[in-house]
Structures are given as structure tokens and as C-alpha cells.
């Protein structure tokens, strides 16, 4: 199992990098951007992830057995000439 603090580190990484969480049910929940994930207040352990598949994934801290970077870091946006 991993701790919520580790998920917070994935979310806070700049530039953001997509990551996947493996659950105890052998499923994977991919987080493509930091916007669709909601972390709980300190006294709770329920994580909400709004998936690109249109589903809302309810995860508890003890159900997440692993998390890892899922893809390459996004390329920085190029500034347009003035």
C-alpha cells in the first residue's frame, strides 16, 4: 500500500506527469491531469478520481497498492512571438 502523501507528491510534481494507481482489485486508475483528482480532508482516506472514461473512481488509501508515472512529461508550451 502507499500513503496519501505519495499521491500528493505525484499531483504536486511540476511539470505534472500522468500517473497510474494500481488497486488491490488488479485495476488501474490513470490520472492524466491533476484536475480530476480530489484528495480528502486529513481525517478521511477516500480519494475521488474523475476518469477520462466518464466514471468516478472512489479509492481508499488501503486499496491503492502501487502508483507510478504513466507517461512522458508534457512538452512545455512555446511562447508566441509578440
Residue 15 in any domain: the answer is yes
Residue 64 belongs to domain spanning: 4-69
Residue 78 in any domain: the answer is no
Residue 79 in any domain: the answer is no
The pLDDT tens digits of the residues spanning 28-71 come to: 888 888 877 777 777 677 788 887 777 788 788 788 878 878 76
At 38, is the secondary structure helix, strand, or coil?
Answer: strand
- Are 35 and 15 in contact by the 8 Å Cβ rule? The answer is no
Comparison of pLDDT for 70 and 16, the residue scoring more: 16
Residue 65 in any domain: the answer is yes
Residue 74 in any domain: the answer is no
Rounded CA-CA distance 43/11 in Å is: 19
Residue 24 in any domain: the answer is yes
Read off the CATH number of the domain in which 27 is found: 2.30.30.100
Number of domains in the chain: 1
Amino acid at each position: 500500500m502507499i500513503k496519501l502523501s505519495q499521491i500528493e507528491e505525484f499531483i504536486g510534481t511540476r511539470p505534472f506527469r500522468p500517473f497510474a494507481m494500481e488497486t488491490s482489485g488488479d485495476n488501474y486508475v490513470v490520472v492524466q491531469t491533476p484536475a480530476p483528482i480530489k484528495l480528502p480532508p486529513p481525517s478521511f482516506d477516500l480519494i475521488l478520481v474523475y476518469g477520462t472514461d466518464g466514471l468516478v473512481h472512489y479509492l481508499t488509501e488501503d486499496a491503492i497498492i502501487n502508483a507510478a508515472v504513466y507517461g512522458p512529461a508534457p512538452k512545455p508550451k512555446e511562447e508566441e512571438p509578440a
